[in-house]
Copies of this chain bind each other. A is one copy, B any other.
Amino acid sequence: MDENRLATLEKRVAALEDEIAIARLMASYGPSVDSLSADLAAALWADDGDYDAGTWAGMAPGTTGVFHGSDAVREMVATEPHQGFVRSGCAHVVSAPRITVDGDTAVAVCYAQLLRRDEATDSYRVWRITANRWEWTRTPAGWKVANRTNRPLDGSEAARDLFRAALR
């Protein structure tokens, strides 16, 4: 019986560790990109993980907000428009997530805000806020992002669809 109790406890503790590990990684995203730590940001993703950051106002023609693979995430941090945002003052704040672990995969739901310094008002504008779905996969190097998708909460149906599917 003690063997059963021990084994059960080990599983319960492992489940807690998984959830806390993923929350910790999600809390690393903002500080990584806002400090231009491109390698750290990229390391959150699996090599072939995707980041679909959605669309935003002023997007350069011909570009998309979709980044395929951790190398593309690294490149995103190392180039415009991200570098300009950081130079003029910004913060990428990821909200406390709702994480659901299922074996070697997990889904997290949260908000991400991009705040940008606004000299005119001596304060920060919440320039974007998106609905987020992060899909995680367990790898030999720990949990990695297999897919992150953001949809702007601008009244369009896409953000609601994202939340609904992730909450299911």
Contact = CB atoms under 8 A, between A and B. Distances in A.
Copies of this chain held together in the complex: 3
A5 B6 contact: yes
Interface in A6-55: 6, 9-10, 12-13, 16-17, 19-20, 23-24, 26-28, 30-32, 34-37, 40
B127 A123 contact: yes
Interface in A98-138: 98-99, 109-111, 113, 115, 117, 121-129, 131
A31 B96 contact: no
Contacts of A96: 23, 26-27, 94-97
5 contacts: A6-B9, A27-B97, A28-B109, A31-B98, A34-B131
